[in-house]
Amino acid sequence: MKSTEFPNRVKKNAFMVATSRAGSSVKLNMNRIACVLFCVGFLSGIGAPSLQAQADNSVDGVTVKSDAVYCMRGGQLDALTDDLKLPFDIVVSTNGCFKVGKGRERKLEEGQVLRRDGWLLNRDGSAWPVFDYVALKEGKVIVVRDGQAETLTKTMTFPNHLRIVPDGSCVYPDGSSARLVDGQLFQLDGASVPAKDTVTLENGRMVVQKSGKLITLKPSEIVGMNDGSRVQWDGTIRNRDGTVTQLREGQTVLVDGPAPAH
């Protein structure tokens, strides 16, 4: 019996040793796995803020209606459920606020539309970029940084050697001189920004922003726009190619603004 019990004891001891070693190996592997998971979680936690805002090329813009924030895709409105990144380093939050780069937080107001091209449409029909720029507005040169406008008081030289003088005259990088036209815009690096005019039908009235100035059309009045179209007081737009557009109440369309002087 001893001879028969001895092999059993050896097997049992060997099994216990193997089990002990396996347990240690499992514990070691578990510790390694836990360490890896911790590192992954820690690193992803560090990277989380940069991953919160997602780019979506299908979004035309963002608007606020009845205190709710919506993405605009063609004529469709979808609730904004995640922070959204747009071109020009614009990030729109689900609370209706947005930032441009590291600038201050700005809030979208009811009925405003922030387009993916960086232009903000207001309910009164006016439209201006949300990124920093310099423009001639109603005869005055303004510098807009982080949404705050100041009148230019001394000559401004841009990185590309463009120079703009407070009286509206400028010297282009190639050395040629000109005067700015109302509505003409430049980014702060000196790059020209294609200007935009707007046409809005609001409360039965036709309002146009032409060359940076808002004009409310009187009955029977017609205004020629910079893109060659003609706008009638009743909401009719006769385009340069002969087609006709009839605005709906509350609708705003953007058209090409004044052509750059250079």
**pLDDT digit string, tens, across residues 108-152:** 999 999 999 999 999 888 999 999 999 999 889 999 999 999 999
Number of domains within the chain: 4
Residues 229 and 241 in one domain: yes
Residues 6 or more apart from 10 whose CB is under 8 A from it?
none
* Residue position matching structure tokens 């009286």: 167
SS3 220: coil
Q: Which two tokens stand for residue 33?
A: 């796995």
Q: Is 250 left (phi over 0), alpha (psi -120 to 50) or beta?
A: left
- Residue 262 inside a domain? The answer is no
Domain that residue 252 falls in? 196-256
Residues 155 and 178 in one domain: yes
Tell me, what amino acid is at 13?
A: N
Distance CA 8, CA 4 (A): 7
Residues 6 or more apart from 27 whose CB is under 8 A from it?
none
Closest CA to 249 of 119, 62, 111, 143: 111
Q: Which two tokens stand for residue 79?
A: 């609730």
- Residue 228 inside a domain? The answer is yes
Residues 80 and 27 in one domain: no
pLDDT range class, residue 54, cuts 50, 70, 90: confident
- Residue 124 inside a domain? The answer is no
Are 206 and 198 in contact by the 8 Å Cβ rule? The answer is no
Q: Is the pLDDT of residue 38 over 60?
A: no
Q: pTM above 0.85?
A: no
* Residue position matching structure tokens 């091209």: 117
pLDDT for the residue numbered 149:
96
Are 189 and 159 in contact by the 8 Å Cβ rule? The answer is yes
Tell me, what amino acid is at 73?
A: R
Residue after which a domain boundary falls, among 168, 193, 218: 193
